[in-house]
Structure 1
């Protein structure tokens, strides 16, 4: 973490200096904003958190509730989301308070006495070591709290505007073409409407999204045909695996997905309520908590649940629905204009809760659109960048729904309906990478290159997330995870994996350093005059030697930029290999060196040889606009 480059800091270094619109930020919602986000759920809050790092962008997030969420319905946090939390600076703190899933137990009818259940299998949650981060369970409300803290500590000092409900919008012309009608839901102005004009609107307002309806998108997919009761409870029980994630299948009473919650006592149960008839008309939703508890006791027999306290419960029907576009550009308009309105999260994809994907995929929606809006509004990139959001995330949502259909169907099956008795646990192990959040692979586009040089870094597939690995920082000898040094500050990352020559020798990496620092074709040439050299691009070098074999004084200046008003040399971008876990071997990096380009949302955008400077320039050329903004409007985070 860098924080003394502007002068001595004696307070909490996570509180960044106010800058741009964060200086004297108005308490009341302005009449004109750059971005208006509707809804403070996972997708909306991550969009806002990312945009809070752009001091020159006026972003406001409105919420119909009068205050923070107290009890969230989502609780499963996949490893990919914890990677994201690391970028936003709170992974360690949320891990400390969360429940950590390391195994899953499977329970089935006892062959000797089918009226009772027995444990049939245990499986590791991450048998292949997909991520160094854990799979967590934690209340959604706490996730939102952490992102809210990040926003409030950001240069823009962003906080939600509570008590405002979205009514409608209209897209017109002018500098602020989207006119939004809001209504106060509380206080002296309750019921009164007001208008806000925005350059862009992000709808993160849930499955019944009014923003979605305003842009003419409709949800399509399977009708719900199976009901589940869900409850967060405190109970006295003799069920031995009450603190393990479990899939429990009874002979004729249905199934349970058991999820232990944080805090050591609370747990969640998804209780199978059976098929929903076509003439049900929502009657199953009136199932009482007493009925859900009774059903759960029937399933776990011979064990019992004595429920002492119910924190929350609900009944829902499984349905899989998806919109065909995630923005306001109609199919007939593709290629003729760029979007002004976007939808995220449950506003554009719904599915069952049992795969633990809803909150996680929604947060990645927000991460994706957030940096793109920031780059366009700050003048870094052209508006064409915004068209990549719907193209990328709609495919991800479709893949999620396809996966969830299989998983939820398996969970609802009766034991005797399985051809293979171990089919459920086999599927869980075989598909572990998907629920962990690591199957997303973006196709070639404006921001994802063709994988023409993938052989140079086979462990960093183009289009997939950048998978971290151990390194040693040269300046202070600290062993670190390389990926953990990338914060959610809106910058592109350029990782330069050196050839075998030592620092200071004439070599391809030395030639690359000269080019990226001084060539007019270098992406760094677009950095605004007066801003730090690494304001838009974070360029790091990883040598093949360990830290003792790298002469920091001989490292090219391109990897040691001068930062802050005092022009201090920043030494923390130079790394050596970890002798115990060589990143070149772990990630299949060619010993002749390679350049790995990573997007602000942590996905690999390109892999190139050290000599392919023309290709690197060609990749960034359509993404960059000449830096003309004043330095106070540039990203101040490192």
Structure 2
């Protein structure tokens, strides 16, 4: 973590210096008449986007929420490894690791052939495959995750806070103007319920759930199907003789349905997803009048001979599995040439079952994708056409999610007998669970070739860092202070691009390929660093360049490192000593071997602000690097 670049001050280093000319948030202050970005909904998607945009005080952001205050309990709890990597970029990954339950093993229970009325353990699976991520799969109350994002917002230069008790009632887009073309009608849902206010915005992002008014206003519809199966979910404090209660468990009974157990943070709390009644094709789950007592009774039937003695029901709900997806995630209809002004994210554009643990995770990844693109446009770094890539990229991934979750839900809700042994040594649901591990970890996302994702022309230089997938971190040592760390953890949720330059063999001296690259990046007019960084900005304001050497830290001459890797930054012109890394020397792993980096030639790995790999190039691939960034970033002086 770096701070003091603008001078010493005591206190919490996460509390950023407040930007001037912020919005008046004193009691009874009026709502603004105009904003740059209006976000509807303080769920995970909305707060993830707000937390990103709050770091850019030049972007006037407003987030509204129909509830009177922040969430307190319930709803989602699973945080996959990909999301944990994202949390690290926001600065609270370690806090989540400390507070959460870590899913280490998943156990599987099926009917005992000797006594089918009872279940028995038939298998265990390591939940996170070795070296699939440096981060764990965790479980934590969604309300706590909301609070962590809200804390980022409060401490940001913008000092951003939600406007509670307001919801988007309707909106219209005027395609003939670029001056705040979206007119939003907000409706008060609190003490002044029914009162409406009008706010004009440059962009609106609907993170307002499956019944999204933002989606409806742009003509979007959710298409899909339902499994016609009622499930109950409850967070409980309880005693039980079930031996695996502190492990994630999938339990399939012979005649009573299935249960999914998820231990929760704190050592005592756990969640149960419990299969309840089959629904008629035209029936809604609300017609059954199911209660928490029905859920508890069903759980005890399914888990026999074990019992659950509930001491407190913290939260519960009954739901029906559904899989639905909109045909687009923005307001531009097929055939229209204009750039989008309104977007949807999360449940507003895709819904699915909660048991795969993907809903909250995918929702946040939606807006993690969108946030930096909005920032690029507002900062004049990119043309507004960049925003078309949001729907193009995220719709494909949502479709992948729907298809995979559809198959998994059918297995979890299979009729009695279909989840038992299928002639192999493994229950069907266990085999499917293993097959889905990359998907459930959030690691299956791969963006297609586009202006933001290059062709795999030089992929052989880094076989373990696949273009289109997220950058896979590995251990390194920071040369200046011999600090062991993960290379991926240098990336913050700050809208910057990263170039990781991996040195080739014998490439650790002036005049070598990596040194020549650094000098070209700093001085050549064709360099993307030179072309896209303004004179009044730090040299790494847009593209953050880091170097990784094959030698150990004590074999490198830090004093001879290129000046690009020791830049002077900030208002005081202080030197940054955290750009140069080398292989770990204490046995945690060699990043070159772990990620298939060509030891002879080295390479550059270009990483997007949302941590996805955009390009792999040779160290002398100057022209290709320049052309790649010119495909979406404006040269200084334009825009």
User: In structure 1, what is the equivalent of residue 344 of structure 2?
Assistant: 343
User: In structure 2, what is the equivalent of residue 582 of structure 1?
Assistant: 590
| Cα drift, residue 324 of structure 1 | 0.9
- Quick one: structure 1 residues 224 and 423, their matched pair in 2 at CA, closer, same or farther if it must change by over 3 Å? closer
**Of the candidates 624, 628, 633, which is equivalent to residue 624 of structure 1?**
633
User: In structure 1, what is the equivalent of residue 537 of structure 2?
Assistant: 531
**Structure 1: gaps of 5 or more residues:** 631-638
Q: Is 1:545 aligned to 2:548, yes or no?
A: no
C-alpha separation in 1, matches of 2:496 and 2:577: 18
Provide Cα deviations, 1:100-135, integer angstroms capped at 9, x if missing partner: 110111111111111111111111112333111111
Say which SS state the counterpart of residue 540 (structure 1) adopts.
strand
C-alpha separation in 1, matches of 2:638 and 2:24: 21
| Cα drift, residue 280 of structure 1 | 2.6
- Quick one: structure 1 residues 141 and 21, their matched pair in 2 at CA, closer, same or farther if it must change by over 3 Å? farther
**Of the candidates 469, 473, 478, which is equivalent to residue 473 of structure 1?**
478
CA contact (8 A) 1:352 1:404 kept: yes
Provide Cα deviations, 1:510-555, integer angstroms capped at 9, x if missing partner: 2211111011111112212211111111110111111111111111
Q: Is 1:292 aligned to 2:295, yes or no?
A: yes
| Cα drift, residue 260 of structure 1 | 1.1
User: In structure 2, what is the equivalent of residue 635 of structure 1?
Assistant: none
| Cα drift, residue 378 of structure 1 | 1.2
CA contact (8 A) 1:502 1:550 kept: no
C-alpha separation in 2, matches of 1:625 and 1:524: 12
| Cα drift, residue 317 of structure 1 | 0.8
- Quick one: structure 1 residues 309 and 364, their matched pair in 2 at CA, closer, same or farther if it must change by over 3 Å? same
The residue correspondences of 1:214-613 to structure 2 (distance < 5 A) are 214-333=217-336, 336-414=337-415, 416-418=417-419, 419-420=422-423, 421-525=426-530, 526-579=532-585, 580=587, 581-591=589-599, 592-613=601-622
C-alpha separation in 1, matches of 2:539 and 2:34: 32
Say which SS state the counterpart of residue 417 (structure 1) adopts.
coil
C-alpha separation in 1, matches of 2:102 and 2:64: 32
User: In structure 1, what is the equivalent of residue 14 of structure 2?
Assistant: 14
**Of the candidates 188, 196, 206, which is equivalent to residue 184 of structure 1?**
188
Say which SS state the counterpart of residue 480 (structure 1) adopts.
strand
Say which SS state the counterpart of residue 564 (structure 2) adopts.
helix
Say which SS state the counterpart of residue 448 (structure 1) adopts.
coil
- Quick one: structure 1 residues 240 and 529, their matched pair in 2 at CA, closer, same or farther if it must change by over 3 Å? same
| Cα drift, residue 443 of structure 1 | 0.3
* Off by >6 Å, runs of 4+ in structure 1: 23-26
Say which SS state the counterpart of residue 146 (structure 1) adopts.
helix
Aligned residues, how many? 627
CA contact (8 A) 2:5 2:570 kept: yes
| Cα drift, residue 164 of structure 1 | 0.6
C-alpha separation in 1, matches of 2:110 and 2:164: 47
Say which SS state the counterpart of residue 324 (structure 1) adopts.
coil
C-alpha separation in 2, matches of 1:573 and 1:533: 12
Say which SS state the counterpart of residue 381 (structure 1) adopts.
coil
Worse overlay, 39-48 or 524-533 = 524-533
TM-score normalized by the length of structure 2: 0.96
C-alpha separation in 1, matches of 2:393 and 2:59: 24
User: In structure 2, what is the equivalent of residue 633 of structure 1?
Assistant: none
**Structure 2: gaps of 5 or more residues:** none
The residue correspondences of 1:107-126 to structure 2 (distance < 5 A) are 107-126=109-128
Worse overlay, 22-31 or 90-99 = 22-31
- Quick one: structure 1 residues 299 and 21, their matched pair in 2 at CA, closer, same or farther if it must change by over 3 Å? farther
| Cα drift, residue 19 of structure 1 | 2.5
| Cα drift, residue 274 of structure 1 | 3.5
Say which SS state the counterpart of residue 40 (structure 1) adopts.
coil
Provide Cα deviations, 1:457-507, integer angstroms capped at 9, x if missing partner: 111100000010111101111111000111111100011111223533311
CA contact (8 A) 1:326 1:390 kept: yes
CA contact (8 A) 2:74 2:316 kept: no
| Cα drift, residue 564 of structure 1 | 1.0
C-alpha separation in 2, matches of 1:498 and 1:281: 60
Say which SS state the counterpart of residue 590 (structure 1) adopts.
coil
Worse overlay, 602-611 or 28-37 = 28-37
C-alpha separation in 1, matches of 2:147 and 2:257: 36
CA contact (8 A) 1:258 1:267 kept: yes
User: In structure 2, what is the equivalent of residue 154 of structure 1?
Assistant: 156
Provide Cα deviations, 1:46-95, integer angstroms capped at 9, x if missing partner: 11111111121111111011111111300111011111110000111111
C-alpha separation in 1, matches of 2:21 and 2:45: 23
CA contact (8 A) 1:25 1:156 kept: no
- Quick one: structure 1 residues 110 and 481, their matched pair in 2 at CA, closer, same or farther if it must change by over 3 Å? same
C-alpha separation in 2, matches of 1:305 and 1:571: 56
C-alpha separation in 1, matches of 2:312 and 2:571: 57
CA contact (8 A) 1:166 1:180 kept: yes
C-alpha separation in 2, matches of 1:126 and 1:369: 28
CA contact (8 A) 2:230 2:285 kept: no
| Cα drift, residue 269 of structure 1 | 0.9
| Cα drift, residue 255 of structure 1 | 0.6
The residue correspondences of 1:35-184 to structure 2 (distance < 5 A) are 35-172=37-174, 173-174=176-177, 175-184=179-188
| Cα drift, residue 237 of structure 1 | 1.5
Provide Cα deviations, 1:199-233, integer angstroms capped at 9, x if missing partner: 00000000111100000011111134111111111
TM-score normalized by the length of structure 1: 0.96
User: In structure 2, what is the equivalent of residue 634 of structure 1?
Assistant: none
C-alpha separation in 2, matches of 1:103 and 1:448: 35
Say which SS state the counterpart of residue 223 (structure 1) adopts.
strand
Say which SS state the counterpart of residue 87 (structure 2) adopts.
helix
Say which SS state the counterpart of residue 7 (structure 2) adopts.
coil
C-alpha separation in 1, matches of 2:210 and 2:440: 21
CA contact (8 A) 2:74 2:235 kept: no
C-alpha separation in 2, matches of 1:29 and 1:193: 11
